[in-house]
Amino acid sequence: MANPSLLILAGDGIGPEVMAEVKKIISWYGDKRGLAFDVSEDLVGGAAYDVHGVPLADATMARAQEVDAVLLGAVGGPKYDVLDFSVKPERGLLRLRKEMDLYANLRPAQCFDALADFSSLKKDVVAGLDIMIVRELTSGVYFGTPRGITTQPDGSRVGINTQVYTTEEIRRVARSAFELARRRGNKVCSMEKANVMESGILWREEVQWVHDNEYPDVELSHMYADNGAMQLVRRPKQFDVIVTDNLFGDVLSDCAAMLTGSLGMLPSASLGAPMANGRPKAMYEPVHGSAPDIAGQGKANPIACILSFAMALRYSFDQGDEATRLEKAIEKVLADGVRTADLMGPEGGKPVSTTEMGDKIIEALNASL
């Protein structure tokens, strides 16, 4: 049987640096665990714009549809702020999500013991934290129409975006959340603004419908998203799985990320419907952005990107044990006090570079054999 295929889109800013460390990990699995991948690489975001004049070439889009999984670094940077909205680096990412129909975005927020002191919240609030945010990723206000900026007869302007959700869009992402919950703490909290938005009322009713008809064994609660934001910083361990829409999910997942100590630690998986080979359409990317302020300096933390590859092992390639091996290797390195600059506490010390962090993780993987 052919090796599973991966398309690497490292993108902009720190994307290529952190992805270089992931490539070492991929090679390690080929050499040491007999898990070889066919890896191809291409451009996305500003890097693609520089070459093709668009943030995602059609050929790259077609390739992404064919492979078993896409690994994405990050997109964007100040150099591209002046571009027309339609060719901004972010449009490349949004096109991948939409055309691959990656409707379920899994954003786990786990607090590693060694980092419990690094959160801006008190240690006892975050120690042992393990929550999963499931963000709807292909609809809502990110894609709804009408949208745009129009000029009124009097010269004033109007900006419009539209929040739209259909029954099926809500039900399918709710199912993803309930499925995950069954394999974790068996609890789902759904967040919307049903007190102000009709789409929020529909969201609440449809999630409830999926629960009552298909997952009555899972505990379901509903919360307004603003309260959800507050509860996330007040008592985050009350949550197991959170399911929410595209925009609330964007905001709440950044908030949850910070609970864990650094945005440099958070991976994500974006999953769609099963392909002919039974694997879900999938893209894996760190939650952090391109961090142009530190790009090219070897300061970036590669862990979020490496943990995203661990999610690929688990969700695309049925290698849960190998994913756990990689996560444990990272835990070990952190417990040994190895820190990139973003993880330095007030007591200071000498941070390791991006490459050194990757090497330490490889060492820990070797030690796991």
Q: Which of 31, 212, 217, 226 is flagged as catalytic?
A: 226
Q: How far is the CB of 233 from ligand IPM (least distance, A)?
A: 18
**Is there binding between residue 327 and Mg ion (CB under 5 A)?**
no
Fill in the per-residue mask, 79 to 108: x = in contact with ligand IPM (CB under 6 A), - = not in contact.
Answer: -----------x--x---------------
**Which residue sits closest to Mg ion, CB atoms considered?**
250
Q: Any catalytic annotation for residue 193?
A: yes
Q: Which of 142, 165, 215, 315 is flagged as catalytic?
A: 142
> How far is 295 from 353, CA to CA, in rounded Å?
12
**Is there binding between residue 245 and ligand IPM (CB under 6 A)?**
no
Angle at 104 between CA 358 and CA 281, to 5 degrees: 75
* Amino acid at residue number 25: I
> How far is 332 from 237, CA to CA, in rounded Å?
23
**Is there binding between residue 169 and Mg ion (CB under 5 A)?**
no
* Amino acid at residue number 24: K
Per the structure block, which two tokens stand in for 66? 């064919």
What is the distance of C-alpha 37 from the center of its chain? 22
Closest CA to 239 of 263, 255, 215: 255
User: Three-state secondary structure along 91-134?
Assistant: HHHHHHHHHCCCCEEEEEEECCHHHCCCCCCCHHHHCCCEEEEE
Per the structure block, which two tokens stand in for 365? 């993987």
Helix (H) or strand (E) holding 227: helix 225-234
Q: Any catalytic annotation for residue 113?
A: no
State the binding partner of 206 from Mg ion, ligand IPM, none, CB within 5 to 8 A by kind. none
Where are the extended beta strands (E) located within 115-268?
A: 130-136, 148-151, 157-160, 187-192, 219-224, 241-244
Q: Any catalytic annotation for residue 254?
A: yes
Q: Any catalytic annotation for residue 226?
A: yes
**Is there binding between residue 250 and ligand IPM (CB under 6 A)?**
yes
Q: Any catalytic annotation for residue 50?
A: no
Nearer to ligand IPM, 102 or 362 (CB): 102
Fill in the per-residue mask, 234 to 253: x = in contact with Mg ion (CB under 5 A), - = not in contact.
Answer: ----------------x---
**Is there binding between residue 179 and ligand IPM (CB under 6 A)?**
no
Nearer to ligand IPM, 283 or 364 (CB): 283
Binding stretches for ligand IPM (CB under 6 A): 90, 93, 250
- Residues in contact with Mg ion by CB under 5 A are 250
Active-site residues, by number, are 142, 193, 226, 250, 254
Q: Binding site membership for substrate: which residues?
A: 97, 107, 135, 226
